Amino acid sequence: MKYSSIFQYAYLVFAVLFAYDGISKWGDGTNAAYISLGLAALAVFMFFFRRRFNKKFQNRNNQS
């Protein structure tokens, strides 16, 4: 399970990259900025979802 805790932080890295991409494309007048910012929001959501899931999984394993 050590790998899953490392990979959950990869979601934050991707969120930062997508946010930077969205901000840099903001003035172009295309919808690409909205797509990048949406993906950044999704990556942040996935980080918190995976973190909560991992904590539940660890608590279940510690009780057994």
23 lies in some domain: yes
Q: How confident is the model at residue 23 (pLDDT cuts 50, 70, 90)?
A: very high
64 lies in some domain: no
10 lies in some domain: yes
pLDDT at 64: 59
**Half-sphere exposure at residue 37, Cβ-oriented, CA atoms within 13 angstroms:** 10
pLDDT above 60 for 1:
no
What is the count of structural domains for the chain? 1
63 lies in some domain: no
For residue 22, what are the domain limits?
A: 4-58
pTM: 0.82
46 lies in some domain: yes
What residue type is assigned to position 41 of the chain? A
> 62 with 44: CB under 8 angstroms?
no
> 3 with 42: CB under 8 angstroms?
no
